[in-house]
Chain A
Amino acid sequence: MIGYILRRIGTSIVVLIGVSIFIFGLLHAIYPSPAIDVLGDRANSALVAAWNKQNGFDDPWFTQYLRYMGNLVRGNLGYSYKLNQGVSALLGEVWARSAWLSGVSLVLSVVIAIPLGVYQAIRRNTFGDYAATGLAFTVYAMPVFFLGLILIQLFALDLHWFSFEGSQSNSLLSIIVDWHAMTLPVVTLTLLTIASFSRYMRSTAMDVMAQDYIKVARAKGLPERLVLLRHLLRNACLPMVTLIGLSIPALLAGNLITETLFNYRGLGLLFYTALGNVDYNVLLAYTLIGAVLTIVGNLVADIALTVADPRIRLA
């Protein structure tokens, strides 16, 4: 087991290096230097060249990449020329906010989507299944931005049940207890994830229900509740583990829109702002974080699968 995990971690590091080279090269090809942004629009070519030389942006791109990675290893993510702050400090100020929003949404999604999917599989082609399917399709087809706007208009501006914006507090504790402000952004993210997860869970649960061991369990006279809990749920959840692992970076992307819409300062908004400003180092850091989360999500999912199903690590 330990050998398996070490092999997977080693592979992940190689993938991460490959991704970082690709991202760095791509960004460098589009924006070779932030000189114009730093010096202003009227900077002439001589001034730009002098600035590039002074800051190492005239070096070959791979040299710049190695320098960046060297700093990265030492915990230095670079400097935001636009915000006059270190990127590490910027990320440090907002990551917990994003993690809370994503984490709560993910947990709620899993807690609701798994039983919902099983229910739909058991009661397939009934009114309840049709209703849940219809709702899931409606929400799934809806852009995050649009769904958020509808929730704001209905529950914040018309009914005044919740705030139209997320918590503005800088204290994570205050954010956690501020359900009035956090309900709508959490619900927006959760609804979208439930729509996806429940459909997947319904499908896998139906597959498992057709398996022989379910028929055997029922033939033995095992109560339906135990058939579902002991035999169906555990096996049907295996693909969900992978899905949840893969959804972690997707939640980060989802945060971008949700945070922007609900005036909630987090990683997504930081990226959005950096995109508008062409804030070179922030863009790099955020994209690398996305890559790390993707790889870590996969790794965790793989490890969880091996724990849940020992046959996998033997394969």
Chain B
Amino acid sequence: MEVPRRMSAHVARVGVAGAAALLAVGIAACTSSSGSSTSAPSTSPSSSSSSGSSTTLAGSFGSVPAEASGTQHAGTITVAAPPNSAPTWIMPLITAADNSVFTVPEFDYQMFRPLYWLTDGTQPKEDPAMSLANDPVWSDGDTSVTFTLKSNYKWSDGQPITSQDVLFWYYQLKAALKESPANWAAYTPGLGIPDQVKSITAPNASTITMQLKAAVNPIWFWEDGIGAIQPMPAQTFDVDAAGGKPITDWATNPADATKIYNYLTAASKSVSTYASNPLWQTVDGPYKLSAFNATSGAFTLTPNAAYGGPHATTESTIEFVPFTSDAAEFNAVKAGTVDVGYLPLTDVPQSSTITSAYNEFGYGDWGWSYVTYNFKDTTGNFNNLINKLYIRQALAHLEDEPGYVKAFFYGAGAQGFGPVPATPVSPFAPSNAASNPYPFSTADAASILKANGWTVVPNGTDTCAKPGTGAGECGAGIPAGQKLEWNVIWNTSPSVIGEQVQDWASQAKTVGITMNLSSSNFNYMITNYNDPASPKTINKWAMEDFGGFTDSTYPTTFGVFNSTGSSNIGGYDDPQADKLITASVSSANPSAVTAEAEYLTTQQPSLFQPNPDGGFGTASIVAWSKSVSGTPQSFEGLTQDTWNPEYWFFTK
């Protein structure tokens, strides 16, 4: 499940489960059999830190050096914060409006850890050492899941993290959703937590059991469900006013749970008091918030001495320094005034100017970029054109992905042929992710059209010459003389979207397809061309390119390509796709999501595009000073907006 992303507008959202972008599992180890554990192969970042060689990944830009082996030094590590990246929420129950990579993984997770840490560098697999709980154990035909909390993780006030802290979060979630479905970013009505939970119990202080209403896909439920839980310190948060008496009946009295929720959300909206409010100082993450500037969004994290997870031997303070523009940030990198920063995609050609002082690494993030097709647009009979697979295949052949990566991304990106691309490497990637099933070839596009009854007029306008539904005919709903002409609306930011769409349209024209281009912006497009939100405008557009989607590490397209999905913008409706997508969230098959991705790659429900390298919530290359070191995974993870600064230290 996913949410829309912009490629460089610095508002990249965390995957749909709120926490889900940080959650992943190794598919091979997952099982749905009764009484089994969904354990995943673990690789502790620290375990590979002494490899002594740099990490180079296929498809990456640059490499990550091995962790320095000398003496670690503490200090203040300055980190560049991109424009518009000020955190706007702190309570560990993130609303839809505040769900961004800047508020969640970069800020909130540093203080309030999710139950499971399912990202390991660039890989979607669990790092058990950073998970607060042991792997979940399934039973009763995947309708019951039990997990136990680890004893080494404690709250910063010395209290253990108990099952009551998980229950407290759960009942706060219920109170939140009672007020508005928008109060939890990961909420999907009828699906996952809490709608599919029949009961939740705590047999003892460290064990939680959930009984579900129906069988679910264990991997999906782990990643997008329980993995998103952020335990709250019930013994501190159970009040409805500062200094108020503890309210202990939050599990049985919804009214009291609501009182607590309203108090906590009011405190979370008061951004100017984040650092001063003692409420937010009881944490289980590696850091405490010691300073927060509500005006600029600058904040400082100091090590939490009670943190029970792995970290550098000598811990440093982390200072996030906000910038007003990418240009200002890059100037700071060139001047060497930040320790960890980024090169915006447009500045990648200048990467050599900082190589003497900075390490550089770029890699694609989980998700995909695409041009959305509108299967409901009746203007010019477009709906009857785009529902033909052969037309979608011809359109895919007109996209020069290798050329785009080279010319528009300056090499800092990778091709993507479906919803789960080959880069970043994922255990969920289907076999047809590795090589383009519809490679760039205008000749192939023309051949497909001719073979299906069209008269192809290069640089003119193609027309249907053989109407009908038989072999070699145009297909149902397409009359004789039908033209291949429609409009395409593209997002002006970043410029690479327009560059790709314009090239695609010009290639299409060479085989007689006319695409009338017009530009818009992300917010306008999302507001006006999102079918579920604005059905009245469904005939205003045939294709649109607003960017793409940031994935959860469990890359189902549930919500996007299933016929009833809330983000199914173009109204794609394919029973087979529905069946496969549903299986990804409800079947016991651990390979269900791979089968889903394979089918969609073949069916091309949209034009899948290459993906730029990511990091810092934008299309960018990650850069960090050569005087800062840490586990390779802690730097690789930045490309996935996974933040583990607790592993960083100065080498001198």
Evaluate whether A45 and B532 lie within 8 angstroms (CB atoms) in the complex, with A38-B182, A39-B97 already known. Answer: yes
Chain B residues closer than 8 Å to A81, beta-carbon distance: 97
CB distance from B163 to the nearest CB of A (A): 30
- Which residues of A (252-278) have their CB < 8 Å from a CB of B? 259-265, 269, 272-273, 276-278
Chain B residues closer than 8 Å to A156, beta-carbon distance: 331, 335
CB distance from B320 to the nearest CB of A (A): 13
Digit string of A22-43 for contact with B (CB within 8 Å is 1, else 0)? Answer: 0000000011000011111111
Evaluate whether A157 and B331 lie within 8 angstroms (CB atoms) in the complex, with A31-B523, A38-B97, A40-B185 already known. Answer: yes
Whether a CB of chain A sits under 8 angstroms from the CB of B530 is yes
CB distance from A284 to the nearest CB of B (A): 15
Contact of A85 among B9, B11, B294, B329 (CB under 8 A): B294
Contact of A269 among B3, B270, B324 (CB under 8 A): B324
CB distance from A37 to the nearest CB of B (A): 7
Whether a CB of chain B sits under 8 angstroms from the CB of A170 is yes
Whether a CB of chain A sits under 8 angstroms from the CB of B359 is no
Give the docked Cα–Cα distance between A127 and B328 (Å): 38
Whether a CB of chain A sits under 8 angstroms from the CB of B56 is no
CB distance from A187 to the nearest CB of B (A): 16
Whether a CB of chain B sits under 8 angstroms from the CB of A152 is yes
- Which residues of B (560-591) have their CB < 8 Å from a CB of A? 566-567
How many A-B Cβ pairs are below 8 Å? 131
CB distance from A35 to the nearest CB of B (A): 9
Contact of B86 among A31, A38, A83 (CB under 8 A): A83
Whether a CB of chain B sits under 8 angstroms from the CB of A149 is yes
Contact of B96 among A40, A83, A272 (CB under 8 A): A40
Chain B residues closer than 8 Å to A31, beta-carbon distance: 523-524, 527
Instruction: Assess the A84–B182 pair: CB atoms within 8 A.
Output: no
Question: Interface centre among B88, B335, B527, B535, by most A CB within 10 Å?
Answer: B527
Instruction: Assess the A94–B295 pair: CB atoms within 8 A.
Output: yes
Give the docked Cα–Cα distance between A261 and B97 (Å): 28
Chain B residues closer than 8 Å to A149, beta-carbon distance: 327
Instruction: Assess the A45–B535 pair: CB atoms within 8 A.
Output: yes
Instruction: Assess the B331–A30 pair: CB atoms within 8 A.
Output: no
Instruction: Assess the B182–A43 pair: CB atoms within 8 A.
Output: yes
Instruction: Assess the B325–A263 pair: CB atoms within 8 A.
Output: yes
Whether a CB of chain A sits under 8 angstroms from the CB of B534 is yes
Chain A residues closer than 8 Å to B84, beta-carbon distance: 273, 276-277
Chain B residues closer than 8 Å to A263, beta-carbon distance: 323-325, 328-329, 331-332
CB distance from A142 to the nearest CB of B (A): 16
Instruction: Assess the B332–A164 pair: CB atoms within 8 A.
Output: yes
Contact of A42 among B16, B83, B86, B527 (CB under 8 A): B16
Chain B residues closer than 8 Å to A51, beta-carbon distance: 180, 182
Chain A residues closer than 8 Å to B327, beta-carbon distance: 145, 149, 260-261
Contact of A157 among B321, B323, B329, B335 (CB under 8 A): B335
Nearest A residue to B295 via CB reads: A93
Chain A residues closer than 8 Å to B523, beta-carbon distance: 31, 36-37, 278
CB distance from B523 to the nearest CB of A (A): 4
Digit string of A51-63 for contact with B (CB within 8 Å is 1, else 0)? Answer: 1000000000000
Whether a CB of chain A sits under 8 angstroms from the CB of B439 is no
CB distance from A213 to the nearest CB of B (A): 51
Instruction: Assess the A259–B97 pair: CB atoms within 8 A.
Output: no
Instruction: Assess the B88–A84 pair: CB atoms within 8 A.
Output: yes
Instruction: Assess the B182–A47 pair: CB atoms within 8 A.
Output: yes
Whether a CB of chain A sits under 8 angstroms from the CB of B33 is no
CB distance from B492 to the nearest CB of A (A): 12
Instruction: Assess the A84–B271 pair: CB atoms within 8 A.
Output: yes
Whether a CB of chain A sits under 8 angstroms from the CB of B269 is yes
Chain A residues closer than 8 Å to B334, beta-carbon distance: 157, 164
Instruction: Assess the B182–A40 pair: CB atoms within 8 A.
Output: yes
Instruction: Assess the A260–B16 pair: CB atoms within 8 A.
Output: no
Instruction: Assess the A41–B331 pair: CB atoms within 8 A.
Output: no
CB distance from B37 to the nearest CB of A (A): 32
Give the docked Cα–Cα distance between A51 and B337 (Å): 44
Whether a CB of chain A sits under 8 angstroms from the CB of B99 is yes
What is the size category of the interface that chain B forms with chain A? 35 or more
CB distance from B157 to the nearest CB of A (A): 27
Chain B residues closer than 8 Å to A43, beta-carbon distance: 96, 182, 533, 566
Whether a CB of chain B sits under 8 angstroms from the CB of A82 is yes
Chain A residues closer than 8 Å to B16, beta-carbon distance: 42
Give the docked Cα–Cα distance between A272 and B327 (Å): 14
Chain B residues closer than 8 Å to A41, beta-carbon distance: 3-4, 13, 526, 530, 567
Give the docked Cα–Cα distance between A45 and B98 (Å): 20
Digit string of A65-105 for contact with B (CB within 8 Å is 1, else 0)? Answer: 00000000000000001111100011001100000000000
Whether a CB of chain A sits under 8 angstroms from the CB of B89 is yes
Chain A residues closer than 8 Å to B182, beta-carbon distance: 38-40, 43, 47, 51
Whether a CB of chain B sits under 8 angstroms from the CB of A48 is yes
Instruction: Assess the B97–A165 pair: CB atoms within 8 A.
Output: no
Instruction: Assess the A276–B83 pair: CB atoms within 8 A.
Output: yes
Evaluate whether A277 and B332 lie within 8 angstroms (CB atoms) in the complex, with A43-B96, A45-B533, A82-B88 already known. Answer: no
Give the docked Cα–Cα distance between A272 and B493 (Å): 14
Instruction: Assess the A264–B271 pair: CB atoms within 8 A.
Output: no
Give the docked Cα–Cα distance between A314 and B637 (Å): 73
Instruction: Assess the B566–A42 pair: CB atoms within 8 A.
Output: yes
Instruction: Assess the B567–A164 pair: CB atoms within 8 A.
Output: no
CB distance from B2 to the nearest CB of A (A): 9
Give the docked Cα–Cα distance between A211 and B296 (Å): 54
Give the docked Cα–Cα distance between A264 and B89 (Å): 24
Digit string of B310-322 for contact with A (CB within 8 Å is 1, else 0)? Answer: 0000000000010
Give the docked Cα–Cα distance between A89 and B269 (Å): 14
Chain B residues closer than 8 Å to A44, beta-carbon distance: 532-533, 566
Contact of A265 among B269, B296, B534 (CB under 8 A): B296
Give the docked Cα–Cα distance between A51 and B181 (Å): 11
Whether a CB of chain A sits under 8 angstroms from the CB of B10 is yes
Instruction: Assess the A272–B13 pair: CB atoms within 8 A.
Output: no
Whether a CB of chain A sits under 8 angstroms from the CB of B272 is yes
Digit string of B74-109 for contact with A (CB within 8 Å is 1, else 0)? Answer: 000000000110101100000111110000000000
CB distance from A79 to the nearest CB of B (A): 10
Whether a CB of chain A sits under 8 angstroms from the CB of B160 is no
Evaluate whether A165 and B527 lie within 8 angstroms (CB atoms) in the complex, with A41-B567, A47-B181, A276-B10 already known. Answer: no
Digit string of A130-155 for contact with B (CB within 8 Å is 1, else 0)? Answer: 00000000000000010001001000
Give the docked Cα–Cα distance between A272 and B9 (Å): 12
Give the docked Cα–Cα distance between A86 and B526 (Å): 25
Instruction: Assess the A42–B567 pair: CB atoms within 8 A.
Output: yes
**A-B residue pairs in contact (CB < 8 Å), sample of 26:** A31-B527, A36-B526, A37-B97, A37-B523, A38-B97, A38-B182, A39-B182, A41-B526, A42-B532, A43-B182, A43-B566, A44-B533, A45-B532, A45-B535, A47-B182, A83-B271, A85-B272, A164-B328, A164-B334, A165-B331, A168-B296, A170-B295, A261-B325, A263-B328, A272-B83, A276-B84
Give the A-binding residues of B (Cβ under 8 A).
3-4, 9-11, 13, 16, 83-84, 86, 88-89, 95-99, 180-182, 185, 269-272, 293-296, 321, 323-325, 327-329, 331-332, 334-335, 337, 523-524, 526-527, 530, 532-535, 559, 566-567
Further pairs besides A47-B181, A272-B324: 15, Cβ < 8 Å: A36-B526, A36-B533, A40-B97, A41-B4, A41-B567, A42-B3, A42-B559, A45-B533, A47-B180, A164-B335, A165-B331, A261-B324, A273-B84, A276-B9, A277-B84
Which 7 A-B residue pairs are closest in the complex by CB-CB distance? Answer: A40-B96, A263-B328, A39-B182, A278-B523, A93-B295, A164-B331, A260-B325
